[in-house]
Structure 1
Amino acid sequence: MRSGVKVAVVGGVFAVVVGGVGYGAYNVLDGLGDSGVGGGTDTKATSAEVKTGPVTKDEIAETSKAFLAAWAKGDAAVAADLTNNKGDAEPALIGYSDSAHVTKAVITPGPATGSKVPYTVKATVSYEGKTKPWSYASELTVVRGLTTGRPLVDWLPSVIHPDLAKGESLETGESQTASIEAVDRNGNVLTKEKYPSLGGILDELRKRYGAKAGGTVGIETWINSANADGVDKTLLTLVKGKPGRVPTTLDAKAQAAAETAVKQFSGASVVAVKPSTGEIRAVANNPANGFNAAMQGAQAPGSTMKIVTAALLIEKGLASANSPVECPKEVLYQGTTFHNLKYFSLPPTDTFTSSFAQSCNTAFIKLIDDTKDDAALGKEARDVFGIGLEWKTGVTSVDGSVPEATGGVAAAQYIGQGTVTMNALNMASVTATARTGTFHQPVLVPSSLDGRRLVTASRSLSPNVTGQLNNMMRATASWGTGKAAMSSVLGDKGAKTGSAEVDGQGKSNSWFTGFSDDLAAAAVVQSGGHGGDAAGPLVAAVLRAGR
């Protein structure tokens, strides 16, 4: 900490109290200097005997207390010397006072769980006469030094703050970008406290549009991104700047439903889009404060991709909703065998709609040869559904991809496996395009705000093909694999389920996409299994709320 700091210990709580001149002249723990617990960065031991094996309970307690006490005292050198990476730890600990301007802190350790020690930090941040309390929780892990054998804190930036990653730093000062007040389509204010999944999006909106919206800077504590083009994350606001108003296409009611829905599963993402305009109504992820997988992910979408495949086959006259198609339990295509879930088959008199609604893989694979073009699926995805056209949504997003392929890899793409990749935003847009027959590029911020040019697809589907796709999706929702998930959804509704196998993963990723009137939504749940079981309820919840 800065000069004028004194240390006290009360009931196991390390306290840093401003007052007097210079630091307190005593150690927080008796005999800290020669206790044998610390000893510095993990360099070669001078002792002939180096202790091995797991750290003991006493070592964990002593090391964590010594480190937290030194940190609380503001002695970065001593605290860093109790870690296994002094070179990185010391400047980070110094920056806690010098750059983040923390002038007071009370650190309270909790009971250890194995070698992990949780703790809460109640700090005070002061900058140019402005002061505000700051509270958060984090944890550290005690490990045995590889060469010294001493117990040491395993240094990670998250020891300082849980959101801090490698290459990032804390800073307090005048904010780098103007403040904003993001609002939904009805003027409701959107905050990261109320809608956690929007945290990163709101930070990016601020960076992109704060100045354009007429906002002014405030005084804040933030995380400097490790990426020069990245978005800094605000942790604390000491003085609010005057916010500029930034309109979004989001819908607070649908967003709230999405936030609640994804909490059911770890590794879940959901997006809702309005088919008639492309406006994004909701975006949510679990975890909420991490990677925006809903808009930036890239994974095989499983059988939800059959919407694009069905459009291709119908457009080429190779299938129609009411014509019969073969659905054997397995099929061989250019040396690669494909089969249906649990090797089911359908009677040869069953229609293409039946194969779509019950997600028959082999019915789609058997028709590939007739397209006479291994790259046909990629062309359909780009020219009709706008996949890969570099969408400009207003925030960072990743387009889907259907790379050129041949043989078994091309066949796998037809059922959403192999090299095809999508995210929830991409599949919500695919469903929106199928719903209306025309691609409308998804947007989260109106293009009128910055004049960016939205992309358009080469062509639309004919009303006949669009009608068939809608009817096939309606069948899936009413009596096919999406029936259970969509049973609570009202209005004109349709769906498609998907399960995507991932190498090295015991359980498939769960995918689901659907529509209700003029709203489309898609979701993915990592290792969620069948699409209707995990991802389906997420989509249904958002569709119910967003109508």
Structure 2
Amino acid sequence: MRGAVKGVVIGGVCAAMLGGAGYGLYNVASALSGGGGTGGGGTASVKSGPPGADEVKDTTARFFAAWEKGDAPAAASYTNYPEAARQLLTAYGGDAHIGKVRVTPGAVTGTTVPFTVRATVSYGGTSRPLAYRSSLTVVRGETSHRPLVDWRPSVVHPELRKGDTLVTGGSAAAPIQAVDRDGRVLTAAKYPSLAPVLDELRKRYGDKAGGRAGVELDIRHAGTGGTGAADTQLLTLVKGRPGKLRTTFSASAQAAAETAVAKYPNASVVAVQPSTGEILAVANNRADGFDAALLGERAPGSTMKIVSAATLIDNGLTSAGGKAPCPATAVWQSQTFHNLTGLRANENATLSESFARSCNTAFVKFADDVSPDSLTKEAEERFGLGRNNWRIGVPSFDGRVPATGGPDTAAALIGQGQVQMSPLNMASVTATATTGAFRQPVLVPLSLDGREPARARGLSSGTVAQLRAMMNRTATSGTAAPTMAGLSGSIGAKTGSAESDGQAKSDSWFTGYRDDVAAAALVQDGGHGIDAAGPIVASVLRNAR
């Protein structure tokens, strides 16, 4: 939006302040209207427990009626956070220019009321209808003991979150028509996971794609103005002229990724082209809308053993055919490490065998031989991780492999401790392992805005040959074999699972390659690598073109 358009913060307000000031405002409004009295000067009985059906019906009817009239203070008085509600409801009719509001409640379930809103947005002599569905819940006030609408921004619109603003006016950036590498149009309607990516691409490159800005009703997210997420468009009043923006995406790979993650909650996947670093697909299936594929920060578990194995090889500690015993347990600085249940110990195992079977203890045993910063240097200097300098075209997390001491030295070798990765990072790791060259992932050409890519030394041909052989063994006869079965061409993979505090199940990780496509997936609380993340990666590798 243009700077002249005023926004209102739709955020959470300090509960301690609202607990006093908010309820105080409600009580004053109630007293003035007579709602706070007891009648005849007697003492009112204090109700407790969830509001009853009649209370839910009466409260929502009063709230909706005031909202429809544009009486923000009155509507806010029926909520448990009246000041925050008043600000948003005032902006709804003011900064957002929304009027002629009609709210139709649906069938009540307990204390939850779904409803439909139909309204009109008018700006600069142009009007457009607006319709959407939302819901609210009625709770009993903590101090007033009255039935109140449990206030949150999503009551006003389901896409509003803490810290958002709602504005109507000239858009901040021209619209874009994003196309894939073959010129096929990419839309959020067809590829839902791309919605935040397309918003960000428009924010950054709308003015470079040759388009003309229009007039819109937008959600402006917290921090927008260079640091926050891009505006989310809700309604177009006057169409701008879109400029064409070519991306590195592959529509076929994106379609495969969207279908694959849809089968698992909290799933994310990224596919890249190892020979170029170009990102082919980004997909998420998360209720919170977070782009974990590009921005996630999770322990990668045993997929990190690709970097760990490279560290051992490059530092001359062992080789693919060298010794890497796999005992039942390994102790490092009083911390005992175990393998997956059912994994048979083998004191004569090679690194290739321990890698393919995902033996934790084999890698932990090398903690005595590596310096605290060996893994960090390998990650940064050869795989390009952890320097916070990737410029892919939209915000991304670049991985974190800090130099550590104590038990974390051993934990880092198996992708636990303080090591953090995203699916994008692990797809890039696999790409580097299979080609030897670190090519910073990109979504749009570097030449579009003169971005300088991150750089790293990459790997020697000897290290690459050993990593490819170990990953191929993992995919054909190791822990990834059941998932990768049936894939033709040059293939390789690595499974992983990572435990996080407070989780009932481990995170499921899997990364793999097939010819010139590398992909990595994360499913939070998904279990073992082959349980959830594996099928996602295999599906993308099978269908990517």
| TM-score (norm: length of structure 2) | 0.90
Change (3 A) 1:288 1:210: farther
Q: Does 1:395 find its partner at 2:394?
A: yes
Instruction: State yes or no: 1:180 paired with 2:176.
Output: yes
**Deviations 1:466-502 (Å, cap 9, x if unpaired)?**
0110111111111111112212433211110100001
Match for 1:239: what amino acid?
V
Q: Distance in 2 between matches of 1:46 and 1:108?
A: 30
Deviation at 1:118, TM superposition (A): 1.4
Q: SS state of the match for residue 369, structure 2?
A: helix
Q: 2:254 — aligned with what? A: 255
Q: State the alpha-carbon separation in 2 of the partners of residues 62 and 486 from structure 1.
A: 59
Structure 1 residue 418 and structure 2 residue 444: aligned? no
2:341 match: secondary structure: helix
In the TM superposition, residue 78 of structure 1 has moved relative to its aligned partner by 1.9
Q: 1:462 aligns with which of 460, 463, 474?
A: 460
Specify the alignment match of 2:8 in structure 1.
none
Report how many aligned residue pairs link the two structures. Answer: 507
Q: Does 1:492 align with 2:499?
A: no
- What SS does the corresponding residue of 2:289 show, helix, strand or coil? coil
Distance 1:498 1:286, change over 3 A: same
1:527 aligns with 2:525: yes
What code does the residue aligned with 1:480 have? G
CA distance in 2, matches of 1:65, 1:46: 21
Deviates more, 1:68-77 or 1:180-189: 68-77
For 1:60-71, list aligned pairs within 5 A.
60-71=56-67
Question: Corresponding residue for 1:105?
Answer: 101
Q: Give runs of aligned pairs for residues 112-131 of structure 1, distance below 5 A.
A: 112-131=108-127
**What amino acid is aligned across from residue 529 of structure 1 in structure 2?**
G
What is the match of residue 296 of structure 1? 295
After superposition, where does 1:331-342 map in structure 2 within 5 Å? 331-342=330-341
Of residues 376, 379, 390 in structure 2, which corresponds to 1:378?
Answer: 376
Decide whether the 8 Å contact of 2:277 with 2:428 is kept in 1: yes
Whether contact under 8 Å (1:39, 1:150) holds in the other structure is no
Provide the residue aligned with 2:161 in structure 1.
Answer: 165
1:123 aligned counterpart, secondary structure: strand
User: What letter matches 2:398 in structure 1?
Assistant: D
| 1:198 is aligned to 2:197 | no
Q: Match of 2:182, SS?
A: coil
SS at match of 1:536: helix
More divergent stretch after superposition (77-86 vs 522-531): 77-86
The alignment partner of 1:363 has SS state of helix
Deviates more, 1:187-196 or 1:313-322: 313-322
- Alignment RMSD: 1.9
Residue 29 (structure 1) aligns with: none
Q: What is the CA–CA distance in structure 2 between the aligned matches of 1:216 and 1:268, rounded to whole Å? A: 36
Q: How far apart are 1:194 and its partner, in Å?
A: 1.1
In structure 1, distance between residues paired with 2:193 and 2:355: 33
Tell me what 1:443 maps to: 442
Which of 478, 481, 488 is the matching residue for 2:479? 481
Number of the residue aligned with 2:5: none
User: Which residue pairs with 1:512 in the alignment?
Assistant: 510
Distance 1:156 1:404 in 2: 42
1:4 corresponds to: none
3-state SS of paired residue (2:525): coil
* Deviation per residue, 1:391-425 (Å, 9 max, x gap): 01110001101111112111000000000000110
* Aligned counterparts of 2:522 and 2:215: Cα–Cα separation in 1: 38
User: 2:508, 2:526 within 8 Å by CA — same for their partners in 1?
Assistant: yes
Describe the superposition over 1:237-286 as per-residue Cα deviations: whole angstroms up to 9, x where unpaired.
12221111211111111111111111111111110111111111111111
Which deviates more, 122-131 or 212-221? Answer: 122-131
Matches of 2:283 and 2:523, distance apart in 1: 12
Contact 2:326-2:348 at 8 Å conserved across structures: no
Letter in 2 for 1:437: G
Distance 1:486 1:108 in 2: 51
Task: Give the CA deviation at 1:363.
Answer: 0.7
Match of 1:235 in 2: 234
Task: Check 1:274–1:332 CA distance in 2 against 1; reply closer, same or farther (3 A cut).
Answer: same
Alignment check: 8 A CA contact 1:40 1:86 kept: no
Deviation of the 1:122 alpha carbon: 2.7
Structure 1 Cα separation of the partners of residues 108 and 473 of structure 2: 54
CA distance in 1, matches of 2:484, 2:238: 47
- Aligned to 2:235, the other structure's residue is in SS state strand
Query: d(CA) in 1 for partners of 2:262 and 2:103?
Result: 30
Q: Identify which of 71, 76, 79 aligns with 2:72.
A: 76
Question: Deviation of residue 173 (structure 1)?
Answer: 1.6
**What secondary structure is seen at the aligned counterpart in 2 of 1:269?**
strand
Paired residue type of 2:460: S
Distance 1:82 1:490 in 2: 63
Task: Write the distance in 2 (CA, Å) between the matches of 1:180 and 1:270.
Answer: 24
Structure 1 counterpart of 2:275, one-letter code? S
**What is the CA deviation profile of residues 57-87 of structure 1, one whole-angstrom value per residue up to 9, with x for unaligned ones?**
2212221222122212322222111111221
Give the superposition deviation at 1:541: 1.5
2:541 corresponding residue in structure 1: 543
Give the letter aligned to residue 89 of structure 2. Answer: L
> Given residue 438 of structure 1, which amino acid in structure 2 is its aligned partner?
A
Aligned match for 2:208, one of 212, 218, 238: 212
Instruction: Give the corresponding residue for 1:3.
Output: none
TM-score, with length taken from structure 1: 0.89
**Bigger mean CA deviation after superposition, 129-138 or 274-283:** 129-138
Q: Structure 1: how far apart are the matches of 2:58 and 2:254?
A: 46
CA drift at 1:46: 5.8
- The structure 2 residue matched to 1:149, chosen from 145, 150, 169, is 145
Cα deviation 1:442-482 (Å, max 9, x = unaligned): 1111111000100110x221111101101111111111111
SS in structure 1 at match of 2:426: helix
Whether the 8 Å CA contact 1:175–1:220 is kept in 2: the answer is yes
Paired-residue identity, %: 57
Q: Deviations over 1:107-132 (max 9, x none)?
A: 22222233221112233322223232
Deviations 1:505-530 (A, max 9, x none): 11000000000101100010010000
Quick check: 1:317 aligned with 2:313?
no
Relative distance call for 1:325 and 1:224 in structure 2 (3 A) is closer
| CA distance, structure 1, for counterparts of residue 515 and residue 318 of structure 2 | 26
Unmatched segments (≥5 aa) in structure 1: 1-35
- For 1:289 and 1:241, locate their aligned partners in 2 and report how far apart those are by CA, in whole Å: 30
Q: Which amino acid aligns with 2:490?
A: D
Post-superposition shift, 1:233? 1.0
1:140 aligned partner, one-letter code: L
1:406 equivalent in alignment to 2:419? no
Match of 1:305 in 2: 304
Q: Is 1:280–2:276 an aligned residue pair?
A: no
Task: Provide the secondary structure at the position in 2 that maps to 1:211.
Answer: helix
After superposition, the Cα gap between the structure-2 partners of 1:113 and 1:484, relative to the gap in structure 1 and judged at 3 Å, is farther
CA distance in 1, matches of 2:492, 2:99: 58
1:524 is paired with a residue of what secondary structure? strand
Q: Distance in 2 between matches of 1:110 and 1:306?
A: 53
Shift of 1:320: 1.8
Amino acid at match of 1:436: T
